[in-house]
Amino acid sequence: STLVHAYAAVNGQGMAGEIGFSTLGYGRQLEQDVSGPALERKLQQRLLDEQSLPQLLVQARPEVEMELAYVVERLGQLITEYTYLLHPHCIVIGGGVMNAHHELIERIEQYVVQQFHHLPLYKQQLPTIEGAIHKGDTGVKGALMLLL
């Protein structure tokens, strides 16, 4: 995920506003908790099922929805905090799960909007939350472009 302000990526410690490396307060990074591999591992353990993540996500089981709700809440909380602090124009969320399940991005955006319901002036200026357009090895290509 990348934070965009004034039409440019917000640069962190050498990364373009990468919030996946944000700490969750108990020695873990967000990516270790809500990334595709983490979600797959959790669902496989919870369901005692070794199927791949795409196969697990299509199952209409309460355990799957609970894990997806956790992903939405965790990302929504972090995006809310970044919005209070930095007020970015746009937040781009990438990754295999988000690319395949755009409805999660909509749920995250709804979560963030709800966090600002008591601040009507601020709510009008919330960042847009979008899925990544460029996928795959785009990060490597972007780094190469910076070197050229």
pLDDT the model gives residue 107: 93
- Residue of 20, 52, 21, 29 lying closest to 39 (CA atoms): 52
pLDDT, tens only, 67-111: 899 999 989 998 888 888 878 888 888 888 888 888 899 999 999
Each residue of 109-144: pLDDT tens digit? 999 988 887 776 665 678 888 888 766 555 555 555
* Alpha carbon distance 6, 135 (integer Å): 23
Q: Are strands 128-131 and 90-93 parallel, antiparallel or unpaired?
A: parallel
Q: How many angstroms separate the CA atoms of 83 and 77, rounded?
A: 10
